[in-house]
Structure 1
Amino acid sequence: MGWYDGLLLMKALVVLTGSMLVLSAAAVERRRVPAMYVFGDSTLDVGNNNHLQGKQVPRANKPYYGIDLPGSGKPTGRFSNGYNVADFVAKHLGFEKSPLAYLVLKARNYLIPSAITRGVSYASAGAGILDSTVRNAGGNLPLSQQVRLFAATRAAMEAKVGARAVAELLSRSFFLVGVGSNDFFAFATAQAKGNSTAVGVGTQSDVVAAFYGSLVSNYAAAITELYKLGARKFGIINVGPVGCVPAVRVLNATGGCADAMNQLAAAFDGFLDSLLAGLAARLPGLAYSVADSFGFAARTDPLALGFVSQDSACCGGGSLGAEKDCLPGAQLCADRDRFLFWDRVHPSQRAAMLSAQAYYDGPKEFTAPISFKQLADKIVIK
């Protein structure tokens, strides 16, 4: 254990009254970073939405979610048959799994101990880059609110162990961000209904330009604010081919991908690359790795990876398994490791594992300018 880890843990043990922190030196030494903080949507959510109020909040709190989750086989709020991408990234970084959800930790009165020794997940199913996306997803914690919750967490951490210790911790920690798909689902829905007022009024190109402008502006604000709060290492997962999820395919008579949606997502990913390069140039010490979710899906052959289905949901019902939600009594495929998609929208546990592996230390074509592993090991200035 390094001097900082020992000092931080000692402070935490002394200051955090009523908390029992059990963390071995060996466990800390295996970690590439001291903590991990997660921001994003349902691909990363590990239980926040289970604690949100409202009938329309998307939740993964019923079988068959979690059916393959090691040790329990029960739903935990992950939109997967087991672990999700955040879990597998965390495993590569030396943790057992993703840090617990913010609202779970609040309910257990364990937020600050976890924030100091392991991290926190603020990811929320249905969340978007834009606050307006929440209206189309039934209620969630949008990206801007996730950042505000982190700011409040940071203030509480400083009150416990001091500003200097927290600054050191955050500068070495890994900030995983994966969000944007829901914004494109909401945009496509608005366009199908002829409702361009949500993103601007004018020609189609004007509407798309306004949409991109809002996305880039909000994304820049979130990353900049996290940087001001002490974050330095950003692992960013870009927007994948949203037009190829079963829920979108089933709307096409041929079952094919919605190419227009994919083109919109791909163009945004280009803007995201430029945004991050620009931020890194003007924010001293900011380091980042963009995981190319879109490229990974486009340039890998699911059949070669052992999948027998790349267009249908393992859990659901109807055409492509995408006409019904994954709920008790739904159709369930026999071999869940051979389906690319778990439900109408989300990847299976094995698909999440393979993508996280590619982002962490896979072929260079899937991360830029460095891999998640190189980012974790990078020494940055505070």
Structure 2
Amino acid sequence: MGRKDFMLYDFILNFLCSEKETIYNFGDSNSDTGAISAAFWPTPSPYGTSYFGKPAGRNSDGRLIIDFIARNPMERNKLPRPQEFSRALYTFDIGQNDLATGFRKFSMPQLRSAIPDIVNQFAAAITRLYQQGTRAFWIHNTGPIGCLPATAMYFRNRRPGLFNKYGCIRSQNAMAVEFNKQLKARINTLRAELPHAALTYVDIYSAKYHLIRNAIIYGFNDPFKICCGHHKNNVHVWCGQRLMINGTNIFGAACGSPATCVSWDGVHYSQAANQWIANHILNGSFSDPPIPISSACLKR
């Protein structure tokens, strides 16, 4: 990140939604700043190595997209007070876990038929927040799950047509596109149902896919290279884990240059990739309506 990028980042954050100084995030591990570590198990080293210097509850080597959206990544873990509901920006990053679970448990037709219910459940949550006084929503769609390096790891039968020309699994990306299509349509109906809400739909899929397709141009290496973990000869030791193999204790260590990697652990993005994505969505280039986050609290 260059000096100009830092200046743009500081400018956006200083004017974020004017008086709306609080951000509350709902999402999966792509935007989790510590809930999983608090409720289940702590993220191990070398998570957090590039920024915090130690594990900090984030599934990355450093900061997440939400950290680059928020002013202070370490002060966003408190629950909102009632009077803050209408003065806060609520961010959402959902879908990846729903699809990943669906790929394991359902056929593609079954998963496709389940998408409307998933989207409606999400819309119901938005509506409940609105009824409690929430007004500003910044909603990410789901990313190109078929491009996550871990998704291809266990495909032993690599039949023709399984992957597209960029190395992503066609069918999984197609399902993500369908999910996003239905999510965007539902958000459009919510705009009519929730007349005082400011709903911004952010096309994270396109931003991430653009980075993956053009990783080398933007100074990254192979976007399917996994920085953290041991993945050789069909032996997989995940980031921060240990496994005894043929009498040898193998540790899922980090690579020497996470700043050049798009993927941190095969499922989650590196801090450098998160930073690149944040820089490209904050100005509204991937948003509907096409407004910067500094205007996301304004009803249009």
Fold shared, TM-score > 0.5 on shorter chain: yes
Matched, 1:40 2:27: yes
Q: From the superposition, tell whether residues 377 and 283 of structure 1 become closer, same or farther in structure 2 (CA, over 3 Å).
A: closer
One-letter amino acid of the structure 1 residue matched with residue 153 of structure 2? V
Q: From the superposition, tell whether residues 324 and 287 of structure 1 become closer, same or farther in structure 2 (CA, over 3 Å).
A: same
The answer to which structure, 1 or 2, has the higher relative contact order (CA under 8 A, 6+ apart) is 2
Give TM-score scaled by structure 2 length.
0.81
Which residue is 2:136 aligned to? 233
Which residue is 1:67 aligned to? 49
Q: RMSD in angstroms over aligned alpha carbons? A: 2.5
Question: Which deviations, in whole Å up to 9, do the C-alpha atoms of 1:61-117 show, x marking residues without a partner?
Answer: 210000012xx4010110010111110111xxxx1226433xxx5xxxxx5xxx3xx
In the TM superposition, what is the alpha-carbon distance from 1:289 to its structure 2 partner? 1.5
Matches within 5 A, 1:159-198: 166=83, 169-191=84-106
Q: Is the 8 A contact 1:46 1:77 kept in 2?
A: yes
Percent identity over paired residues: 28
Q: Distance in 2 between matches of 1:320 and 1:359?
A: 38
Give TM-score scaled by structure 1 length.
0.65
Matches within 5 A, 1:28-107: 31-32=16-17, 33-52=20-39, 57=40, 59-69=41-51, 72-90=52-70, 95-97=71-73, 99-101=75-77, 105=78
Q: Distance in 2 between matches of 1:371 and 1:319?
A: 44
Runs of at least 5 residues in structure 1 that lack an aligned partner in the other structure: 1-27, 106-110, 116-156, 159-165, 197-203
Q: Distance in 2 between matches of 1:76 and 1:170?
A: 26
Q: From the superposition, tell whether residues 373 and 269 of structure 1 become closer, same or farther in structure 2 (CA, over 3 Å).
A: same
Q: In terms of mean alpha carbon deviation, does 171-180 or 247-256 score higher? A: 247-256
Q: From the superposition, tell whether residues 36 and 315 of structure 1 become closer, same or farther in structure 2 (CA, over 3 Å).
A: same
One-letter amino acid of the structure 2 residue matched with residue 179 of structure 1? I
Q: Is the 8 A contact 1:312 1:320 kept in 2?
A: no
Q: Distance in 2 between matches of 1:98 and 1:311?
A: 30
Matched, 1:359 2:281: yes
Q: Which has the higher helix share?
A: 1
Q: Distance in 1 between matches of 2:61 and 2:122?
A: 30
Q: Is the 8 A contact 2:136 2:198 kept in 1?
A: yes
Which residue is 1:258 aligned to? 169
Which residue is 1:283 aligned to? 194
Residue of 219, 232, 236 corresponding to 1:306: 219
Matched, 1:318 2:231: yes
In the TM superposition, what is the alpha-carbon distance from 1:320 to its structure 2 partner? 9.9
In the TM superposition, what is the alpha-carbon distance from 1:38 to its structure 2 partner? 0.5
Q: From the superposition, tell whether residues 266 and 68 of structure 1 become closer, same or farther in structure 2 (CA, over 3 Å).
A: same
Q: From the superposition, tell whether residues 31 and 272 of structure 1 become closer, same or farther in structure 2 (CA, over 3 Å).
A: closer
Residue of 216, 219, 236 corresponding to 2:119: 216
Which residue is 1:15 aligned to? none
- Return the index of the structure with the highest Cα Rg: 1
Q: Is the 8 A contact 1:175 1:235 kept in 2?
A: yes
Q: From the superposition, tell whether residues 219 and 98 of structure 1 become closer, same or farther in structure 2 (CA, over 3 Å).
A: farther
In the TM superposition, what is the alpha-carbon distance from 1:213 to its structure 2 partner? 2.0
One-letter amino acid of the structure 1 residue matched with residue 32 of structure 2? D
SS of the residue aligned with 1:36?
strand
Q: From the superposition, tell whether residues 291 and 321 of structure 1 become closer, same or farther in structure 2 (CA, over 3 Å).
A: farther
Q: Is the 8 A contact 1:289 1:372 kept in 2?
A: no
Q: From the superposition, tell whether residues 316 and 209 of structure 1 become closer, same or farther in structure 2 (CA, over 3 Å).
A: closer
Q: Distance in 2 between matches of 1:368 and 1:321?
A: 42
